[in-house]
């Protein structure tokens, strides 16, 4: 086993942060310019602004618009190092983080901020058929599948098959599902509308499926109702109280009904990454590690869990939601506490979440925002959403680039990133080939 610590070892205390998402990066930044050695370990070389990933999946933005190299972000802090590596486990006795390449990194304090992935509720076989949206590769794959389905529909001589291929089912009525459904509807109805001859993308069917009674269940009811209306006006069919029963290459069965579909996108269910397994502790059903008020993992001194990895409770003993702002605030809090506690021995103060309000966007001129007593919807909420999200991007150039692309899209209804790249073979159903052959036979005969 090889010690992979990036910096020369010295006698400063060493904080290892696993994961450079909102939580990990906030924590590392707070520890910047202190007399503590910090190592950030991530599988990727970039921090991804996940809230805008659906725009990459729907051809509105490029991956580089929403991703920033981790090294670049922390390069201003000489005490923070970055290691590109895959963590496979933790040796809590030796205080080692174990890496996939037979290496390890020793730690004095360990911050686990490894995020979450989608949960298929025990049906992992649905994953290849209905990709979720957590990584750049996911987004590229969804973009390729969406665009390819329309290309295949254009080639298909069979109206039923054309209809199936241009039907997009989005599973999950949370913010991700709502945003995806709205963006796909806009892509089909406006961007692709004039580019095809046989099919009419404007007639494409977009179906949003939610098992619960309403969309955006964490928002106030009137905003849920507005969201459903706004999506319907975009031409999205919204099915609530409709649990998904099966996903196949041909479509989705939900609420007892089979919906033939060319593309299925998964936006439901969250499962924490395996940090709990690494520690060998009990987790909740979503795989989250229970933490104390100071975000420490009970029984593991100097080990902390943040963001989607952690099950933290508020003052009413309710779990904090899996939101970017929770992750970011936890990271900032823990970073500040460690910066004070490690050199000065000050006790760790408990974390308190300050709710800064929730937003979700539906499409052009339509969004919802909930700030407790103040609620916004429609154009004002949408402009606010856009400003906030551009502002939250790292770096001036990204802000300028994204603003430019959004203005352009707003004025022209076009999207700049309609590329089918990588694997270009989507699952084509047997029925298509059959139908086409039958038609061909009919012609010849």
Select the residue interacting with a second copy from 321, 404, 410, 434 (CB under 8 A): 404
List the strands of the sheet with 374-377, edge to edge.
Answer: 358-363, 366-371, 374-377
Asked if 398 interacts with a second copy (CB under 8 A), we say yes
* Least distance between a second copy and beta carbon 136 (Å): 5
**Gap between the Cα atoms of 222 and 255, Å rounded:** 25
Asked if 340 interacts with a second copy (CB under 8 A), we say no
Asked if 434 interacts with a second copy (CB under 8 A), we say no
Please tell me what DSSP assigns to residue 50: G
Asked if 91 interacts with a second copy (CB under 8 A), we say no
* Least distance between a second copy and beta carbon 417 (Å): 4
Q: Where is 224: in which H helix or E strand? A: helix 221-233
* Least distance between a second copy and beta carbon 176 (Å): 21
**Gap between the Cα atoms of 222 and 52, Å rounded:** 25
Asked if 160 interacts with a second copy (CB under 8 A), we say no
Closer CB to a second copy, 157 or 255, in the complex: 157
Using CB under 8 A, which residues numbered 133 to 152 contact a second copy?
Answer: 136-137, 147-148, 151
* Least distance between a second copy and beta carbon 274 (Å): 19
Q: Which stretch binds a second copy (CB under 8 A): 240-248, 351-359, 369-377, 393-401?
A: 393-401
Say which of 68, 161, 179, 228 is annotated catalytic. Answer: 179
Closer CB to a second copy, 148 or 184, in the complex: 148
Asked if 63 interacts with a second copy (CB under 8 A), we say yes
Residue 351, phi then psi, degrees to nearest 5: -85, 135
Select the residue interacting with a second copy from 4, 12, 134, 277 (CB under 8 A): 4
**Gap between the Cα atoms of 101 and 86, Å rounded:** 8
Asked if 284 interacts with a second copy (CB under 8 A), we say no
Asked if 399 interacts with a second copy (CB under 8 A), we say no
* Least distance between a second copy and beta carbon 343 (Å): 22
Asked if 285 interacts with a second copy (CB under 8 A), we say no
CA-based angle 391:217:359, to the nearest 5? Answer: 10
Residue 364, phi then psi, degrees to nearest 5: -40, 120
CB of 277 within 8 A of CB of 90? no
Q: Which stretch binds a second copy (CB under 8 A): 59-67, 87-95, 166-174, 330-338?
A: 59-67
Select the residue interacting with a second copy from 44, 123, 134, 356 (CB under 8 A): 44
Please tell me what DSSP assigns to residue 348: P
CB of 338 within 8 A of CB of 38? no
Asked if 294 interacts with a second copy (CB under 8 A), we say no
**Gap between the Cα atoms of 214 and 285, Å rounded:** 23
Asked if 243 interacts with a second copy (CB under 8 A), we say no
Closer CB to a second copy, 117 or 242, in the complex: 117
* Least distance between a second copy and beta carbon 74 (Å): 9
Identify the sign of the CA torsion 186, 187, 191, 192.
negative
* Least distance between a second copy and beta carbon 110 (Å): 20
**Gap between the Cα atoms of 52 and 261, Å rounded:** 25
**Gap between the Cα atoms of 348 and 45, Å rounded:** 31
* Least distance between a second copy and beta carbon 353 (Å): 32
Strand partners, 359: 369
Query: Residue 130, CB half-sphere, CA atoms under 13 Å: how many?
Result: 30
Q: Which residues contact 266 (CB under 8 A, 6 or more apart)?
A: 118, 120, 126, 127, 130, 131, 132, 133, 171, 172
In terms of Cα–Cα distance, which of 254, 157, 154, 276 is closest to 210? 254
Residue 404, phi then psi, degrees to nearest 5: -60, -45
Closer CB to a second copy, 14 or 288, in the complex: 14
Q: Which residues contact 114 (CB under 8 A, 6 or more apart)?
A: 18, 19, 21, 87, 272, 273, 274, 275, 309
* Least distance between a second copy and beta carbon 434 (Å): 11
3-class SS at 172?
coil
Closer CB to a second copy, 204 or 238, in the complex: 204
Using CB under 8 A, which residues numbered 174 to 203 contact a second copy?
Answer: 194-198
Using CB under 8 A, which residues numbered 100 to 119 contact a second copy?
Answer: 102-103
Annotation says 154 is catalytic: no
CB of 131 within 8 A of CB of 138? yes
Select the residue interacting with a second copy from 23, 57, 83, 87 (CB under 8 A): 83
Interface contacts to a second copy, rule CB under 8 A? 1-4, 6-7, 43-46, 62-65, 67, 69, 71-72, 75, 81, 83-85, 102-103, 136-137, 147-148, 151, 154-155, 157, 194-198, 397-398, 400-401, 404-405, 408, 412, 414, 416-422, 424, 433, 436-437, 439-440, 443
Q: Which positions are annotated as active-site residues?
A: 179
């Amino acid at each position: 086993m090889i010690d992979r610590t990036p910096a020369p070892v010295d006698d400063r205390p060493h904080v290892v942060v696993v994961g450079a998402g909102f939580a990990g990066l906030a924590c590392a930044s707070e520890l910047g310019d202190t007399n503590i050695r910090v190592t950030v370990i991530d599988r990727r070389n970039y921090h991804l602004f996940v809230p805008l990933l659906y725009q990459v999946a729907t051809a509105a933005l490029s991956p580089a618009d929403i991703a920033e190299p981790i090294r670049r972000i922390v390069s201003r802090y000489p005490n923070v190092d970055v290691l590109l590596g895959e963590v496979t486990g933790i040796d809590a006795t030796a205080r080692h983080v174990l890496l996939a390449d037979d290496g390890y990194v020793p730690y004095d304090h360990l911050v686990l901020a490894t995020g979450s992935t989608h949960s298929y509720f025990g049906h992992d076989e649905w994953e290849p058929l209905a990709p979720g949206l957590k990584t750049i590769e996911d987004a590229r794959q969804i973009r390729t599948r969406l665009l390819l389905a329309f290309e295949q529909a254009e080639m298909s001589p069979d109206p039923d098959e054309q209809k199936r291929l241009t039907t997009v089912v989005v599973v999950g009525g949370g913010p991700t599902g709502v945003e995806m459904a709205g963006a796909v509807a806009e892509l089909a109805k406006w961007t692709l509308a004039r580019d095809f001859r046989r099919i009419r993308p404007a007639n494409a069917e977009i179906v949003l499926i939610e098992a619960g009674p309403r969309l955006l269940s964490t928002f106030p009811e009137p905003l849920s109702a507005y969201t459903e209306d706004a999506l319907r006006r975009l031409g999205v069919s919204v099915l609530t109280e409709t649990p998904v029963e099966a996903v196949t290459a041909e479509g989705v069965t939900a609420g007892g009904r089979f919906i033939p579909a060319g593309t299925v996108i998964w936006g439901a269910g969250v499962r924490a990454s395996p940090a709990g397994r690494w520690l060998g502790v009990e987790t909740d059903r979503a795989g989250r590690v229970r933490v104390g008020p100071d975000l420490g993992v009970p029984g593991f001194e100097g080990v902390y869990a943040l963001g989607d990895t952690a099950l933290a409770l508020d003052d009413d003993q309710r779990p904090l939601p899996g939101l970017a702002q929770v992750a970011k605030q936890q990271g900032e809090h823990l970073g500040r506490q460690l910066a004070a506690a490690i050199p000065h021995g000050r006790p760790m103060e408990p974390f308190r979440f300050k709710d800064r309000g929730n937003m979700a966007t539906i499409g052009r001129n339509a969004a919802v925002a909930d700030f407790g007593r103040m609620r916004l919807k429609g154009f004002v909420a949408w402009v606010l959403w856009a400003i906030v999200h551009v502002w939250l991007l790292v770096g001036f150039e990204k802000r300028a680039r994204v603003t430019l692309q959004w203005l352009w899209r707003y004025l022209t209804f076009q999207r700049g990133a309609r590329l089918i790249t990588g694997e270009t073979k989507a699952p084509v159903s047997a029925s298509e080939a059959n139908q086409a052959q039958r038609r061909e036979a009919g012609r010849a005969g």
